[in-house]
Amino acid sequence: MKAIILAGGMGTRLKQLTDKIPKAMISIGPKNLTEHVIDILKKDGIKEVYLSVSYKKEIIKSFFKNGQNWGINIEYIDEDIPLGTAGPLIILNQKSKPFEETFIMLNGDNLMNINLKEMIKFHKKNNATVTIALTTVNDPTSYGVALMEGDMIKGFIEKPKNPPTNLINSGYYIMEPEVFNIIRGKEKAMIEKDIFPVLAREGKLFGYKHNGMWFDTGTPERYEQVKREWKNV
């Protein structure tokens, strides 16, 4: 199975760190952020990795090269102009044959001790087009909160004052190749705005609930928490 890691972000809220290096390369213990994400994938046997890169991408490429030193195969999706979170899918549509089998897509700045094999089983059982790993947070008012009907996701409420649940999007997805059709022909697209609502209306968007460790490295405070609490997979 192939996996796309979104590793092109500028990390503007971590400016003191990301002025010189891409966010994908910030340190968490003896490894950088992307090495930890690769460990999460390797744990469940996923070794075909596409790194979607943009900001300071040459630093990422010169470090990881073809992935051989990590026991994986790495290919790069170059996003010279930001195309949105669905940008890698747009580029794969334009430049090569899109994936023909189930694949994984994940935000490269989130760490999670998820069992991807179990998530894939859940995805297949529900005949989903996309399954989102949902995690719980104590205060969901800063996130998009999932509206659920059983295991089906009917939509998200962004930063609600009175959250209906504490389930949020973790940034880890299982996808079917049908997603390429949804954004075909678009010059820019967001997974959250251009893909998820379409599938939610069709009853093809599901949520896999995960109660384990999940960390978002988006702010200095959260980054410090990750450094203190993340345990290597």
Round to whole Å and give the CA distance between 47 and 108.
16
Q: Which domain, by its residues, includes 118?
A: 2-229
* Mean pLDDT of the region 130-144: 91
Tens of pLDDT, residue by residue over 22-50, are 889 999 999 999 999 999 999 999 999 99
Helix (H) and strand (E) counts in the chain: 8, 13
What CATH number is associated with residue 198? 3.90.550.10
Q: How many CA atoms lie within 13 A of 157 on its CB side?
A: 14
pTM: 0.94
pLDDT at 96: 65
What DSSP state is assigned to residue 55? T
The one-letter amino acid at 182: I
Tens of pLDDT, residue by residue over 168-218, are 999 999 999 999 999 999 999 999 999 999 999 999 999 999 988 999 888
Whether the CB-CB separation of 104 and 98 falls below 8 Å is answered with no
Residues 110-131: b if buried by 16+ CB within 10 A, e if exposed:
bbbebbbeebbebbeebebbbb
* DSSP state letters, 145-197: EEEEETTEEEEEEES-SS-S-SEEEEEEEEE-TTHHHHHTT-SS--IIIIIHH
Total domain count for the chain?
1
Mean pLDDT for all residues in the chain: 92
Between the alpha carbon of residue 232 and those of residues 46, 52, 211, the distances in Å are: 17, 23, 17
pLDDT, greater one: 208 or 94 = 208
* Mean pLDDT of the region 95-111: 90
Tokens coding 201: 């209306």
